[in-house]
Amino acid sequence: MYESRTHQSAFVKIEQGWKQRAFVDHLFEVFQTHTRMAAPKPSFAHGRLKSYWFYTVTAPCFYPLYTQLYQVQADGKRRKVLPPGLITELLTPCAFAYWVMCDGSHRNRLMTLHTEGFTEAETHQLSVEVNALFGLHSSSKCRDAKYWVLRFPVADFDRLYRVLEPWMLSCFRYKMGV
């Protein structure tokens, strides 16, 4: 999300790796009434296709969420934050499934939600709120000695699958290990 410098508005940029073209196309359909773009655009790096992306119009409807997720720090810059209670208030099974489709990965039925943009405390709070909402047992784990992710144990697989499956696009079921 990005803020308009002149109005209390924001816009959203969606970008996913080239293998996720179908997902970007799906999200483009979801946001179609909020974009002026004709279609998602490709992005290249070193002459090779890297990703597909699109952005929405700048609109007041995105601003409340933007101001909750990006707060001004002491240095005057905005940083992504996770206010306590936000997950409990806003995360539905559908929204959780989209989050997993964007930022999830799995290995041997162990799912990881990549939350590297949040602090250790925020990732712990996220774990507490997600667990309470959906009856799960996730925990925050340090990755590469500096990033924090949310890890769901193998024991949560069946419960996670029941919560997320109705909303997962078929091309993303692999993120659940299915």
Q: What percent of the chain is modeled with pLDDT above 90?
A: 60
CA 33 to chain centre: 21
Q: What angle do CA 171, 43, 55 make, to 5 degrees?
A: 75
| pLDDT score of 2 | 67
State the Cα–Cα distance between residues 135 and 177, nearest whole angstrom: 20
pLDDT in tens, 18-71: 988 999 999 999 999 999 999 999 999 999 999 999 999 999 999 888 888 888
Residue 108: what residue type?
A: N
67 burial type by CB count under 10 A (0-12 exposed, 13-18 middle, 19+ buried):
middle
The domains found in the chain, sorted by start residue, are 2-76 (no CATH), 86-176 (3.10.28.10)
pLDDT in tens, 120-138: 999 999 999 999 999 999 9
Longest CA–CA span in the chain (Å) reads 49
* Closest C-alpha among 102, 111, 90, 99 to residue 158: 111
pLDDT at 6 over 70: no
State the Cα–Cα distance between residues 89 and 70, nearest whole angstrom: 17
pLDDT in tens, 80-96: 888 889 899 999 999 99
